[in-house]
Amino acid sequence: MIQKRQLGQGGPMVGAVALGTMNFLGTYGPADPDTSLRCMAECVDMGIDHIDTSDVYGSGGAEELLARFLKTHGDRVTLATKGGITRQPDHPFDNTDHYLTRTLEASLKRMQVERVDLYYVHRRQADHPIEETMQTLLRLRDQGKIGAIGLSEIAPSTLERAAAVGPVAAVQSEYSLWTRQPELGLTDACARHGAAMVAFSPVGRGVFADTPPDPANFAPGDLRATMPRFQPDNWAHNLTRLRSFADLARDMGESPASLAIAWVLARAPHIIALPGSRDIAHWRQLARGADLTLTAGQMEQIETVLPAGWAHGPRYGGAMSVGPEGYC
């Protein structure tokens, strides 16, 4: 059983590694639902007991898949989902009371539950005051439909404003050796306000696997094919660094994925790592990372191989860059 960390001030203790469901429905290529269900069950047995999903993963399909899992394992997990992305080109995000209320009800129906432990605003609607969004979330909490409030891909300034209205249990942001922007204020802001920082893609969308992905072989629909860091000119530079990191991990007697998870968790005690995988062998490596204690010397070695800003290319391009809040 892996180490536990608190999901927000006064929140439940959950595994330091959480389980993301975005790729269970084909985000990174074809996926088999039965394989995904078996994977989830084995993860819970390892102590990976915080499950994170969204109403837009597989257009609701991930939540429907979870309903099958929750029938037999619901009492063993802490459940989070997200809402606020519309997929409408002229209005991609909606944080209004009407929309969030309606989408939460739809999520509960798909998962066949009366309540979720944590509900995130998946993306902030820039022209809708965060204070009004918080009032909606507090109402949903008081009605017993959600246990706690989360925000995703926000700036520290937004967290400051939100926390002035009510408690924010968790802030979700991409964070890894591949993407380090949260170090520019968000990690500290979460600590000040008692919020867990839930670091999604802590193994860099698969780049810290035993064998880094080959962008030339991405399956149709693989989200990474649209990301600048996987384009040929950038990838050639990135792959060289990734191979050096893999060599370092092997010298330490660990897999690259385990070492990447250990690094993320070592950055602050309120960080929870949120990877996603359909491979149970890979999940064992991820869980292994939660049990590693890195020395100052090892952290320095990692920093030498992968210093802040090493990755070539922005993490998002085109439409995907709209929504995550910039800062610093």
Q: Which of 76, 68, 74, 80 is nearest to 34 (CA)?
A: 68
Measured distance CA(122)–CA(138) in Å, rounded: 16
**Residue 134 CB contacts under 8 Å (≥ 6 apart), including other chains:** 149, 162, 165, 166
Q: What is the DSSP string of 54-97?
A: -TTGGGGHHHHHHHHHHHHHGGG-EEEEEE-B---TTS-B---H
Q: Decide if 57 is catalytic.
A: yes
Measured distance CA(207)–CA(182) in Å, rounded: 19
Measured distance CA(95)–CA(261) in Å, rounded: 32
Q: Which two tokens stand for residue 187?
A: 């990690």
Other Cβ atoms less than 10 A from the Cβ of 300: the count is 10
**Which among 57, 119, 120, 175 is annotated as catalytic?**
57
Q: Which residues are catalytic?
A: 57
